[in-house]
Structure 1
Amino acid sequence: MAEDDDTPVDEEAMAAEWAAMAEGGAGNEGIDDEAVAAEWEAMAGADEPEDAAMAGGSAPGRVLDQDEIDSLLGFEGDEDEGEVHGIQALINSALVSYERLPMLDIIFDRMVRMMSTSLRNFTSDNIEVSLDNITSVRFGDYLNSIPLPAMLAVFRAEEWDNYGLMTIDSSLIYSIVDVLLGGRRGTAAMRIEGRPYTTIEQSLVERMIAVVLKDLCGAFEPLSPVNFTFDRLETNPRFATIARPPNAAVLVKLRVDMEDRGGRLEILFPYATLEPIRELLLQRFMGEKFGRDSIWETHLATELWSTHVVMEAVLDEQEISLRDIMNLEVGQTLPLNARPTDGVLLRCGDIPLVRGRMGRSGKYMAIKVDETAAQYTRSE
């Protein structure tokens, strides 16, 4: 509406300007031309502020460069720092940031080697077990992400008085059943969706779970002996709840390959289950002693035995005022409340060491030790 009202006014002003130019002298042509040019520029740029206001900024048509796009999406920054920004921070909000347990890598690497041997003996087939990764997740998010159908085995750590969870996906289930029942090599395992697992399939999978749990016990044995016992087998994740949904847990993903068959096996430990051995899992290598070094202890003890200390033999102690000390004169006598047969205390600084009797050994004054520091302190 404002543009429609201003248009007639601008046209009248422009007509008056042209009339003035026609009537004016030759000396004013340059000034009139500049005025007309300025008038036309003002009219042409009258709509730009409105367009800029509609665009929501003072620089209409501005295009973001690649760095600004990466910053918005959260792809900038050093990957080593592990910091996530922008949209990536929203996507990864379900991940758990928890302390790293270095010893778990050693334990499950040992377990992978043991499983490769035990599963070969169990199936009489060539089986390769590999460790994908070890991550921290929330228990509820993990249950919601399990691809169904699958079998979930709940096992109990007796010494730690808590539970763990093992997930076997459908590909590994059908592969194990096919191998144990004499399926031909080179043929993919038959998979029928939408039907529950039969009793035979569950029994065969339970036998494989027993083998895996035995290897898991052997992997933890050098660090902390524990016995994992099979508790129950579930096919519905809702019935395999062993912790509260927001609780943090350690997820270990394993890959089992049998030539052209195989599948995934996942082991989940809530952090509450690993809490009894958390200090041991924080070690960087097996048998690490925090804050102690036997070599340094031996060296320190050797140097201490050869250290020279100054000892003082105290015959008697008295407390007098500073006034009396300032009034002491040359030749004045200080009486001591000690006799030649009284005990003498040997001190190193303010620490009492031994107590004995004063005597003479050759040309030296000597003290015969009667009580050690512990006995002297106890008697007082």
Structure 2
Amino acid sequence: MAGSDVLSQSEIDELLSALSTGVVSAEEMKIEQTQRKVKVYDFKRPDKFSKDQIRTLYMLHENFARLLNTYLAAHLRSFVNINVASVDQLTYEEFIRSLPNPSVISIFQMRPLKGSVLLELNPNIVFSIIDRLFGGPGLPPAKPRPLTDIEEVIVKRVLAKTLESFTEAWKQVIALEPRMDAIETNPQFTQIVPPNDMVVIITLQAKIGQAEGLLNICIPYLVLEPIMSKLSTTYWVASSMAKQLTDENINALQRKLERTLIPIVVELGCIGVNVHELLGLNPGDVLQLETRVEDDLKIVVGSNEKFRCKPGISGKKLAVQITQIISKGEDGDE
């Protein structure tokens, strides 16, 4: 194997051919398996991300996929299914060579982190979204083409919402303020790092209506280097647990809510008039309310009637005295 843990189809065919011709026996293969295995290491593309960091990135972007799935399903009113297919590390040149031309590539910054990040969307997915937003069934064109000016404006709006989901998913690790710089269609014009620099590629499989395609997020190692210590499962879980409400936090929140000022309204009464009568009102006209002198008045909080009361005076100020508590509008009923 050429430095890989997974056999290619040609290598599998060679092994089967060797077994069938007798060049290699099954016993020899068993002996070879028991011997010490040596893994080839390529110094031109050293691994920058540990397995734990790759796992953390996978978990982060699983949350991103769920948020993006919810947004697109509600916005497009169509069937949407997005999930993380893989998280890999490779050189930037290898990633760029794998992209189709034309494609839709968004270049944005992960501020406060330095450097640029790529979000590449398969043209089938992009044109399916555009067709759906323009009132169509969501079918991609027969042949990929560059975006028109109007289509680019629509895509920028969708990408802005996508970055909001990206920010929400990453808030467990760092508070991001991403900013979109440009949209490119030719991968060769998106040289954000040197060709041999290592990047991590998060690949998401997307299905929107009848269109299927991939979404790739390319994050250079240099961008994530300042927060590499936070990209661990232990840190991520610990930060999640730290944000859970404790009894002390709940009590502090309750005390703040109890000190919150809310407006209340005492209704003296009401009357119904038609539009003709309303237009005929003049200064000095008298409207007779339905409330009688001996009736209790309503106390309204928000839009709900919460109490009944009697009007009066306290010192030199107008006041009301609570006579009844109305249960309608409680949290349990709502």
TM beyond 0.5: yes
Aligned to 1:104: 57
Q: 1:222 aligns to what SS in structure 2? A: coil
- Residue 133 of structure 1 pairs with residue 86 of structure 2: yes
Match of 1:278 in 2: 228
Match of 1:256 among 206, 209, 221: 206
2:23 to 64, 87, 101: 64
Cα distance, 1:94–1:118 mapped onto 2, change above 3 Å:
farther
Does structure 2 retain, via aligned residues, the 8 Å contact 1:169–1:265? yes
User: Secondary structure of 1:286's match?
Assistant: helix
Question: Residue 249 of structure 1: CA displacement?
Answer: 0.6
Q: Which runs of 5+ in 1 are unaligned?
A: 1-61, 290-380
Deviations 1:328-373 (A, max 9, x none): xxxxxxxxxxxxxxxxxxxxxxxxxxxxxxxxxxxxxxxxxxxxxx
1-side partners of 2:47 and 2:161: how far apart? 32
The structure with the largest alpha-carbon Rg is 1
Q: Secondary structure at the match of 1:119?
A: helix
1:227 deviation in Å?
Answer: 1.0
| Residue 146 (str. 1) matches residue 99 (str. 2) | yes
Residue 161 (structure 1) shift? 2.0
2:111 is matched with 158
Which structure has greater helix proportion? 1
Deviation by residue 1:48-87 (Cα, 9 ceiling, x = unmatched):
xxxxxxxxxxxxxx9521569989xxxx859xx99656xx
What secondary structure, in the 3-state scheme, does the structure 2 residue paired with 1:197 have?
coil
The residue that corresponds to 1:234 in the other structure is 184
Aligned residue number for residue 219 of structure 1: 169
Q: Name the structure 2 match of 1:123.
A: 76
Letter in 1 for 2:152: Q
Distance in 1 separating the partners of 2:37 and 2:233: 22
Q: After TM superposition, list the pairs within 5 Å mapping 1:188-203 onto structure 2.
A: 188-193=139-144, 195-203=145-153
1:298-329 deviations in Å (ceiling 9; x for gaps): xxxxxxxxxxxxxxxxxxxxxxxxxxxxxxxx
2:129 counterpart of 1:176: yes
User: Normalization by structure 2: what TM-score?
Assistant: 0.57
Compute the displacement of 1:201 (Å).
Answer: 2.2
For structure 2, list consecutive stretches of 5 or more residues without a partner in the other structure. 1-20, 240-334
Name the TM-score, length of structure 1 as normaliser: 0.51
Which stretches of structure 1, 4 residues or longer, exceed 4 Å deviation after superposition?
Answer: 66-71, 81-85, 92-96
The answer on whether the counterparts of 2:65 and 2:82 sit within 8 Å (CA) in structure 1 is yes
Determine the C-alpha separation between the residues in 2 that align with 1:264 and 1:82: 35
Change (3 A) 1:198 1:222: same
Q: Which residue pairs with 2:289 in the alignment?
A: none
Q: From 154, 160, 181, give the equivalent of 1:204.
A: 154
Q: What SS does structure 2 have at the residue aligned with 1:288?
A: helix
1:65 partner amino acid: V
Q: Distance in 1 between matches of 2:25 and 2:133?
A: 55
Higher RCO by CA contacts (8 Å cutoff, separation 6 or greater): 2
Q: CA deviation at 1:152?
A: 1.0
Q: Secondary structure at the match of 2:137?
A: coil
Pairwise CA RMSD: 3.0
* Rounded Cα–Cα distance in structure 2 between residues aligned with 1:267 and 1:127: 19
Aligned residues: 214
